[in-house]
Structure 1
Amino acid sequence: MHILLACDKFKGTLTSAHVAAELAPPLSAAGHTVSSVPIADGGDGTVAAALAAGFAKRTATVAGPLGRPVEATWAQSGRTAIVELAEASGIALVSPTRDTALNAGTHGTGEVIAAALEAGCTKIVLAVGGSSSTDGGAGMLVALGARFLNDSGQPVPTGGLGLLEVAQVDLTGLDHRVRDAEVVLASDVDNPLLGENGAAAVYGPQKGASATEVALLDRALTHLRDRFAEAAGADRETIGRIALAPGVGAAGGTGFGALAGLGAGVRPGADYIMELVGFEDAFSSAELVVTGEGRFDLQTLSGKGPGAVIDRGRAAGVPVWVVCGAAEIGAEDAPGVTGIVELRSLAPDETCMTRPAAVVRQAGERLAELLRA
């Protein structure tokens, strides 16, 4: 039987490619033909999936969330670049503190985009997720030539708190190459910019914001929206619509900055990344598919990479098995799923975290046994 491995990362332990590398040997030893394609949903891990799919690795030394230099990896195929916000501006690079919540920025992400433009890329796929900031993408835009000025005509401080000082948004200096490029926001969330489901309210606490600071950041993003609307003049209603669009609240409002400042389009992250890495070609000859991620739950079925794989299998009548660290739902709750193999049923949680590769190999052995039954 031809088995396709199409797994997302196991967050904090293994990349999608590493998961496939451990699952494949026991399935091959059982007589199956095994192939793999990495998947991602537009969040952290997207660049790793692209590299595993054959994109070339590129690196750039850029400003981290709080200004300290970091080395960010991005992926290139021809004139297409995949830029992952988490590489330059991710929460994994800093601690979730009050300082992070109020002052972290996305300047480094803009620097990575600039590096991609310098390399000749004319299509920029911005994968957002795992961010540390709530700056509405302002830092990213500054790195590309925009200016956010206070009443005295001086640049405002980096980060969400600095947005409260913005008196003028000036996009006239944006790099002409990014104006001419196709920019795509690959997002796995549908949050708007503002309000109880917005960037600050939903994701601010993960970055170290208290309830008071969440309210402050939401006010800062509202202020940013209004200054963008003023800069847009006759198109100010367009800015209002952008702020309400699903997905613009991603990565602390970076989605808003990408749409309002760079004219980006939005694509569902999982479907779009699967398209870029050639999932359909790999899937076309599969007789069974194995997908999975660290935690399998109802959210997995709504916009996540494994959920998209399950949908494809269900539509084509191809059985889909799930390998995951922990399952919060059963196969009966997930139409299209034939069965589930949980790592925590094979080893203690501590072992799953400290020796994940070995336990995933056990999961492959267990799956091979179940397929023989």
Structure 2
Amino acid sequence: MKIVIAPDSFKGSLSSVEAAFSIEKGIKKAFPEAETLLLPVGDGGEGTLDTLVAATKGRRVPVRVTGPLGKKVNSEYGVLGDGKTCVIEMAKASGLWLVPLGELNPLKATTFGTGELIKQALDDGFKSFILAVGGSATNDGGAGMLQALGLKILDKEGKELSFGGAELSRINSIDISNFDSRIQTCTFLIASDVQNPLIGPDGASYVFGPQKGATPENVELLDRSLADWAEAVEKVTGIHLHDLVGAGAAGGIGGAFQAFFPAEIRRGIDVVIEYTGLHQALVDADLVITGEGQVDFQTASGKTPMGVAQAAKLRNIPTVILAGSIGKGIDALYQYGVVSVNSIINKPMQLNEAIESAAELLENGTEQVVRSYFYYRKQNQMKVGL
């Protein structure tokens, strides 16, 4: 029996690679003779760089950048095995995980560090980029990222705006004269699992702002600020970001890339599947196990488990999802080849306990799922034989 293991990260506890190893341990406890193929994946958010570098036998380049709250942090960009393609993961410079609990502030959080990563990669000679956007602590429309690359965002007095989404309410004009000209000579593939527009009830602020610490009042302010930003961007680029598909990704940075970069945007999981060779790995597989920390209605919008299940369904291979927690709306996943969604939590526990025990919980949860799956598979085969 061949089982393909293709999980995303369990945010805050396990990387996709660590999750894959835990799943494999669980499989071996239940079915020691099983052939396992580990293929950790991601959907453009946190962990995408790790996945692509590992899958292509690439390397990492350390870079010191400005974190989301303006303090310097250690970051990195990745280089694929071809030695030519650079992977910029936004979460490595502007991610939620870089902000201590209780200090989230999307009014002031900046994407400046993401721009610094791109600038360093340009300085190092790269011209082909994969931009993994997701997992950000920001809601600044990508303004900070653009500032790091030479764009000037000015108020009515001609002074440059400071960091943060709230600052965009003071925007008067954009000066592109010093924007890094090398960008137009490069290619940028945006890997994102988000199709939301920039503003409005389905936009960046209303949908993602609360998880970044925004109050209802903050959300309204941030949405108005992004609307002001979109108006200013349209004046200099002619691109209408307001309702552009994907513009709301990662606090609006998806729109910044589409307006100022020669960029193509694709579903993050599709990019990762292509580079990791998932379709080839699925040949002759009997079962696929995937998972992530939270599975709910958003999962069916293009996150890792759905993308993996879709790929497996093309070969009529069943997919099982393991999750730290399960929310509403998972029924939509069953049409994509998912046969079951299972929580790894085996008793009442606090979040910190679940995070600390994630590897063990995932291993044990996998063991039980595999035991059940192959027991009923064997029973069905016996019935058919009769």
| Distance across 2 between alignment mates of 1:18 and 1:213 | 36
Q: Unaligned stretches of 5+ in structure 1?
A: none
2:93 and 2:359 mapped to 1: Cα distance? 27
Residue among 182, 191, 197 paired with 2:196: 191
Aligned 8 A contact 1:193 1:248 in 2? yes
TM-score normalised by structure 1 residue count: 0.91
Residue 147 of structure 1: how far off its partner (Å): 1.3
Change (3 A) 1:22 1:125: same
Change (3 A) 1:96 1:139: farther
Q: Which residue of 1 aligns with 2:303?
A: 304
The DSSP-based 3-state class of the residue aligned with 1:367 is helix
3-state secondary structure, aligned to 1:102 = coil
Counterpart contact for 1:96–1:208, Cα < 8 Å = no
Mapping of 1:142-161 within 5 angstroms? 142-161=147-166
Q: Are positions 1:289 and 2:294 aligned together?
A: no
What residue identity is the alignment partner of 1:176? S
Give the aligned partner of residue 205 of structure 1: 210
Measured in 2, the distance between the counterparts of 1:167 and 1:203 equals 26
Which stretch of the first structure deviates more once superposed, 184-193 or 273-282?
273-282
- Give distance in 2, aligned partners of 1:99 and 1:348: 28
Contact 1:96–1:207 (Cα < 8 Å) also in 2: no
Contact 1:195 1:201 in 2 (8 A): yes
In structure 1, the residue corresponding to 2:105 is in which secondary structure?
helix
- Say which of 359, 362, 382 aligns to 1:360: 362
Of 100, 107, 114, the match for 1:102? 107
Equivalence for 2:19 = 19
Check conservation: 1:191, 1:246, Cα contact below 8 A: yes
Residue aligning to 1:316? 315
Letter of the 2:138 counterpart = S
After TM superposition, the structure 1 = structure 2 runs for residues 1-373 of structure 1, keeping only pairs within 5 Å, are 1-28=1-28, 30-53=32-55, 54-77=57-80, 78-95=83-100, 100-232=105-237, 236=238, 239-240=239-240, 242-328=241-327, 334-335=334-335, 336-344=337-345, 346-350=346-350, 351-373=353-375
SS at match of 2:234: helix
- Indicate the SS of the match to 2:107: helix
Against the structure 1 CA distance between its residues 172 and 278, is the aligned structure 2 distance closer, same or farther, given a 3 Å change threshold? farther
Distance, in Å, in 2 between the alignment partners of 1:63 and 1:309 is 34
The Cα shift of 1:269 comes to: 1.3
Q: Is the 8 A contact 2:104 2:212 kept in 1?
A: no
User: Is the CA contact (8 Å cut-off) linking 1:59 and 1:72 kept in structure 2?
Assistant: yes
How many pairs were matched up? 366
Larger CA deviation: 105-114 vs 147-156: 147-156
Structure 2, gaps ≥5 residues long: 376-386
Q: 1:98 to 1:218 in 2, by over 3 A?
A: farther
Q: Structure 1 residue 213: deviation in Å?
A: 2.4
Q: Is the 1:51–1:75 contact (alpha carbons within 8 Å) kept by the matching residues of 2?
A: yes
CA–CA distance in 2 between the matches of 1:367 and 1:282? 21
Q: 8 Å contact 2:78–2:88 — kept in the other structure?
A: yes
Cα offsets for 1:195-224 (capped at 9, x unmatched): 111112222222232322222222211111
Question: How big is each residue's C-alpha offset from its partner over 1:216-272, in whole Å with a ceiling of 9 and x where there is no partner?
Answer: 22221111111122223xxx2xx11x3312211111111111111223221111112
Cα shift readout 1:145-199 (whole Å, capped 9, x = no counterpart):
2111223332111111222232221223222222211112211111111111111
CA shift in 2, pair 1:170/1:305, >3 Å: same
Amino acid at match of 1:7: P
- Which amino acid counterpart does residue 68 of structure 2 have in structure 1? P
The change in CA–CA distance for 1:333 and 1:109 in structure 2 (over 3 A counts) is closer
CA distance in 2, matches of 1:25, 1:196: 43
1:93 and 1:3 mapped to 2: Cα distance? 35
Q: Aligned in 2, Cα 1:168/1:341: closer, same or farther, shift over 3 Å?
A: closer
Aligned to 2:380: none
Superposed CA RMSD: 2.2
Mapped partners of 2:78, 2:101: distance in 1:
27
SS for the counterpart of 1:243 is: coil
Q: Please tell me whether the aligned partners of residues 331 and 340 of structure 1 are also in contact (alpha carbons under 8 angstroms).
A: no
Give the Cα–Cα distance (whole angstroms) in 2 for the partners of residues 75 and 299 of structure 1: 28
Q: Partner of 1:112: helix, strand, or coil?
A: helix
Partner-residue secondary structure (3-state), 2:156 = coil
Q: Deviations over 1:322-357 (max 9, x none)?
A: 22223447789613223444312x454345332111
- TM-score (norm. length: structure 2): 0.88
Instruction: State which drifts further: 207-216 or 142-151.
Output: 207-216
Answer whether contact 1:192 1:199 (CA < 8 A) is retained: yes
Separation in 2, partners of 1:230, 1:145: 18
- Distance, in Å, in 2 between the alignment partners of 1:121 and 1:369 is 48
CA contact under 8 A between 1:270 and 1:303: conserved in structure 2?
yes
Partner secondary structure for residue 103 of structure 1: coil
How far apart, in 1, do the equivalents of 2:315 and 2:114 lie? 38
CA gap of 1:75–1:347, structure 2 versus 1, over 3 A, is farther
